[in-house]
Amino acid sequence: MNKQEKIVTMFDDIAKTYDITNRVLSLGIDRTWRKEACEKCFAYLQKPEIEAIIDMACGTGDMCEYWDKIAQEKGIKVNSIIGIDPSVGMLEEAQKKGLNATFIQGEAKDIPKQNESADILSISYGLRNVVDRLEGLREFHRVLKSGGYLVILEFTKLPKQTLTARIRDFYMKRVLPFVGGILSRNFNAYTYLPNSIESFLTTDKLIEELKEVGFEIVEVKGYSMDISTLFIAKKN
Closest to 58 (Cα-Cα) out of 20, 25, 11: 11
| Encoded amino acid at 73, one letter | E
The whole-angstrom separation of Cα 235 and Cα 230 is: 17
70 assigned to some structural domain: yes
Complete DSSP assignment for 138-196 = HHHHHHEEEEEEEEEEE-PBPSS--HHHHHHHHIIIIIHHHHHHHHHS-HHHHHHHHHH
CATH number of residue 45's parent domain: 3.40.50.150
pTM exceeding 0.85? yes
75 assigned to some structural domain: yes
Closest to 157 (Cα-Cα) out of 142, 146, 168, 173: 168
pLDDT of 162-183, one tens digit each? 777 788 778 777 887 888 788 7
pLDDT of 178-203, one tens digit each? 887 887 788 887 787 777 777 778 89
150 assigned to some structural domain: yes
79 assigned to some structural domain: yes
Q: Which residue has the higher pLDDT, 220 or 160?
A: 220
Domain count, the chain: 1
147 assigned to some structural domain: yes
Complete DSSP assignment for the chain = --HHHHHHHHHHHHGGGHHHHHHHHHTTTHHHHHHHHHHHHHHHH--SEES-EEEET-TTSHHHHHHHHHHHHTT-EES-EEEEES-HHHHHHHHTTT-SSEEEE-BTTB-SS-TT-EEEEEEES-GGG-SSHHHHHHHHHHHEEEEEEEEEEE-PBPSS--HHHHHHHHIIIIIHHHHHHHHHS-HHHHHHHHHHHHTS-BHHHHHHHHHHTTEEEEEEEEETTTTEEEEEEEE-
pLDDT of 92-125, one tens digit each? 999 999 999 999 999 999 999 999 999 999 999 9
Q: Which domain holds residue 38?
A: 3-9+29-155+201-235
Q: How confident is the model at residue 26 (pLDDT cuts 50, 70, 90)?
A: confident
164 assigned to some structural domain: no
16 assigned to some structural domain: no
186 assigned to some structural domain: no
pLDDT of 39-98, one tens digit each? 999 999 999 999 999 999 999 999 999 999 999 999 999 999 999 999 999 999 999 999
Q: How confident is the model at residue 160 (pLDDT cuts 50, 70, 90)?
A: low
- For the chain, the maximum distance between any two Cα atoms, rounded to a whole number of angstroms, is 46
pLDDT of 213-231, one tens digit each? 999 999 999 988 777 899 9
Closest to 183 (Cα-Cα) out of 14, 59, 12: 14
